[in-house]
Amino acid sequence: MALTTAKNQKTFSTTVMNFTKKLLLYILLTLVALFMLGPFIWLISTALKSGGENIFQYPPQLIPEQVTFSNFVGVMDAFPFWTYLLNSVIVTILTVILNVLFCSLAAYPLARMKFKGKNLIFILILSTMMIPFQLLMIPVYELALSLGLDNTYAGMILPQITTAFGVFLMRQAFMVIPYELDESARMDGANRFQIWLRILMPLAKPSMLTLTVFTFIFAWGDFLWPLIIISDQDMFTLTLGLDMLSGTFSSDWRLIAAGAIISMLPAIVVFLFLQKYFIGGLMKGAVKE
C-alpha cells in the first residue's frame, strides 16, 4: 500500500513538473512572438488610423479610434502603384523560375555525377556565400552597363538567377535520392536530362519549393540592386516606389505604413501557401540515409 502511494506521488510530481515546464515554455514563446510581431502590429495600427490621431503618442495606442482604409487608397493614388506592382511581379516571377532552374541544373552533376574536382568546385561555390554583394556591385554594374542592361528587366533579373545557397539546397536534395532510380531509368533508355527532369525534380519538390520561397522573398524585397541598375521611374519596382513614397510623404507615416503593408502581403501569402513544403524542404538532406 505504501509502495503504491509513493509511486502515485512520484507520478503526480512528474506530471506537475512536465506541465510547469510546458507552461513556462509556452509563456516564453508567447512573449517572443509578441516581441517579434510588435513592429508589424504597430504598422497595421498606423495604417488604419485616421488623420486626426496621433501616431507617436506615449504610451502607443494600438487600437485606432476610427478605423479607416483611406490610407491604402491614398497610396495607390499617390504614385503609379500598378506599374510598380507589375514590374515587381515580372522581376520576381522570372527570378524565381530561372533561379530554381539553373540551381537545379548546377546541382545535378555535383550530386549525381562522378568527375575529378567535383568536391573542389562545390567548395568554391559555397565560398562565394562569404562574399557580400556590396563587394561585387561595382564589377557587376560595369558588366551590366557594357551589355546595355541598365533600365531593363534583364538587368534586375540576371545577377540573381543562380545562388550558392540554391545550388547547395538542391544538391543536398538530390543526394538523398537513391542512385538505383538513376540506374533503372538508364536501363529504360533515359538520358541524363530526362533523369533530372522526370525523376529527380519531382522527388525534390519540397526543396524546390523551399528555394522558391527564399528566392521570392529576396527578389520581391530587393532594394539595393534595382536602385543601382534602374534610373527610369517607369521601371521602378514596388520597393523603389515605396522609397519614393517615403521621400514624398515624409510627414504622413500613415501612407508609408499602408504602402509597407501592401508590399509585404504577396510574400506573406506565398509563405503561408507553401509553408508545409518549406519545413520539409529545410529538413531534406539533414540526415543522410
Residue 178 and residue 59 share a domain: no
Residue 142 and residue 8 share a domain: no
71 vs 262: CA distance, rounded Å:
11
Residue 88 and residue 38 share a domain: no
Element (H, E) at 21: helix 2-47
Residue 183 and residue 49 share a domain: no
277 vs 205: CA distance, rounded Å:
8
Does 220 reside within a domain? yes
Question: Among residues 34, 52, 68, which one ends one of the domains?
Answer: 68
**pLDDT of 89 higher than 90:** yes
Residue 75 and residue 54 share a domain: no
Residue 117 and residue 43 share a domain: no
**pLDDT of 75 higher than 70:** yes
CB 15 within 8 A of CB 7: no
CB 169 within 8 A of CB 207: yes
Does 19 reside within a domain? yes
Does 288 reside within a domain? no
Residue 155 and residue 199 share a domain: yes
Residue 177 and residue 232 share a domain: yes
**pLDDT of 288 higher than 80:** no
pLDDT for the residue 259: 84
Residue 143 and residue 80 share a domain: yes
Residue 146 and residue 38 share a domain: no
Q: Range with the lowest mean pLDDT among 35-49, 79-93, 149-163, 201-215?
A: 35-49
Domain with 246 in it: 71-283
**What's the predicted TM-score (pTM) here?**
0.80
- 160-193 exposure pattern, b = at least 16 Cβ within 10 A, e = fewer: bbbbbbbbbbbbbbbbbbeeeebeebeeeebeee
CA atoms within 13 A on the CB side of 230: 26
Q: Range with the lowest mean pLDDT among 80-94, 223-237, 241-255?
A: 241-255
Does 258 reside within a domain? yes
pLDDT for the residue 287: 44
pLDDT for the residue 265: 85
pLDDT for the residue 289: 42
Does 289 reside within a domain? no
Residue 253 and residue 136 share a domain: yes
Categorize the per-residue pLDDT at 280 as very low, low, confident or very high, splitting at 50, 70 and 90: low
Residue 37 and residue 78 share a domain: no
Categorize the per-residue pLDDT at 230 as very low, low, confident or very high, splitting at 50, 70 and 90: very high
Residue, of 40 and 276, whose pLDDT is higher: 40
Q: What letter represents residue 3's amino acid?
A: L
Q: What is the CATH number of the domain that holds 266?
A: 1.10.3720.10
Closest CA to 99 of 211, 237, 198, 220: 211
**pLDDT of 43 higher than 80:** yes
Does 211 reside within a domain? yes
- Cell numbers found for residue 32: 517572443
pLDDT for the residue 260: 84
Residue, of 89 and 243, whose pLDDT is higher: 89
Collect all residues with Cβ–Cβ distance below 8 Å to 101 and sequence separation of at least 6.
none
Going by the DSSP 8-state scheme, the letter that residue 55 receives in this structure is T
134 vs 221: CA distance, rounded Å:
17
Q: What letter represents residue 285's amino acid?
A: G
Percent of the chain whose pLDDT exceeds 70: 88
Does 63 reside within a domain? yes
Question: Among residues 68, 100, 124, which one ends one of the domains?
Answer: 68
165 vs 151: CA distance, rounded Å:
27
Q: Which sign, positive or negative, has the C-alpha torsion 289, 286, 276, 218? A: negative
Does 262 reside within a domain? yes
74 vs 70: CA distance, rounded Å:
6
Question: Among residues 45, 68, 91, which one ends one of the domains?
Answer: 68
CA distances to 31, 138, 232 from 70, rounded to whole Å, are 32, 42, 29
Q: Range with the lowest mean pLDDT among 1-5, 117-121, 156-160, 270-274?
A: 1-5
The domain tally of the chain equals 2
Categorize the per-residue pLDDT at 285 as very low, low, confident or very high, splitting at 50, 70 and 90: very low
